[in-house]
Amino acid sequence: MGKVLVRKFNAAAAGFTLIELLVVVAIVLIIVSGIVTVGGAMRTQAKIQNTESTIRMLESALTDYHNYKSGFPGSCGELNIIFDIVETQTGFAVGSGNPGTHATAPDAWGSFVGNDLNRLLAARASIEILYFMLDQVPDCQRYLAKISEEFKTNEDNDSLIVHQGSDPSKDMLVPLIEVNDAWQRPIRYETFSSGEDFPELISAGPDGLFNTADDIISTEIQL
């Protein structure tokens, strides 16, 4: 009768040990974490680039506005009139420290510096008025049309009545459109102060707060 061969089974040789499995899991987690981090950074960079593109379109529209009006909104006298109209028709004191539904708190949209009209003016009110004024100039409309529709909203559903002569039946109700950054927060328009020659357009950036290091400012964007 022949011999019966008995093969010993070595569990360690047949597969991974517990320690080896834990090491593999740790490596996978590190790789996944790296992918998520890189993906998040890439998405943030894409949003920054989209916001910069939107700001450039607004800057181009402002240049055409200046060529047409020989001044910028806020330096030609019309801005004060539009603020008065907004306050009358919406009931919001947009030139005061409490801009109604245009902002939830000063920290959310930041504070303006300068005269009483601009101080503490909400970003949404400023960009709504700017868009309204730019849209009145035909040369500016081509740049406004290039801004992605997803960045143009009217979240507070406010409008202005535009008179078309003495006949009230011809009056037009024009929505006050705000232009947002890629995080869907209003881009702020600031009239320029002495020593400057062009207004500033400012996004609060990824953190959503103005006057912080990640603000995207038109005067600092690389051409």
Cβ of 85: how many Cβ atoms within 10 Å? 15
Quick check: is 178 in a domain?
A: yes
Domain span at residue 129 reads 18-220
User: Which of 2-6, 44-48, 197-201 is least confident?
Assistant: 2-6
Give the residues across from 178 on adjacent strands: 153
Please list, in sequence order, all residues whose beta carbon lies within 8 angstroms of the beta carbon of residue 110, skipping any fewer than 6 positions away.
123, 188, 204, 209, 210, 211
What's the mean per-residue pLDDT of the chain? 74
pLDDT surpasses 70 at 89: no
CA 157 to mean position of chain CA atoms: 18
DSSP conformation letters of 63-123: HHHHHHHSS-TTTSSHHHHHHHHHHHHH---TTSS--GGG-S-HHHH----SSTTTTT--H
Looking up tokens 């011999």, which residue turns up? 3
Which one-letter DSSP state was computed for residue 215?
Answer: -
Quick check: is 115 in a domain?
A: yes
pLDDT surpasses 80 at 97: no
The one-letter amino acid code at 44 reads: T
Cβ of 161: how many Cβ atoms within 10 Å? 12
Q: What is the pLDDT of residue 104?
A: 34
Q: What is the pLDDT of residue 108?
A: 35
Quick check: is 10 in a domain?
A: no
Between 98 and 42, name the one with better pLDDT.
42
Q: What is the pLDDT of residue 5?
A: 56
pLDDT bracket for residue 91 (50, 70, 90): low
DSSP conformation letters of 4-62: PP-PPP-HHHHS--HHHHHHHHHHHHHHHHHHHHHHHHHHHHHHHHHHHHHHHHHHHHH
| Residue 210 structure tokens | 């103005």
Quick check: is 11 in a domain?
A: no
Whether 182 and 131 have beta carbons less than 8 Å apart is answered as: no
Quick check: is 60 in a domain?
A: yes
Give the residue among 196, 182, 171 at the shortest CA–CA distance from 62: 196
Quick check: is 4 in a domain?
A: no
pLDDT surpasses 70 at 74: no
pLDDT surpasses 50 at 41: yes
pLDDT bracket for residue 120 (50, 70, 90): very low
Quick check: is 125 in a domain?
A: yes
Between 163 and 45, name the one with better pLDDT.
45
Number of domains in the chain: 1
Enter the pTM of the model: 0.67
Whether 168 and 174 have beta carbons less than 8 Å apart is answered as: no
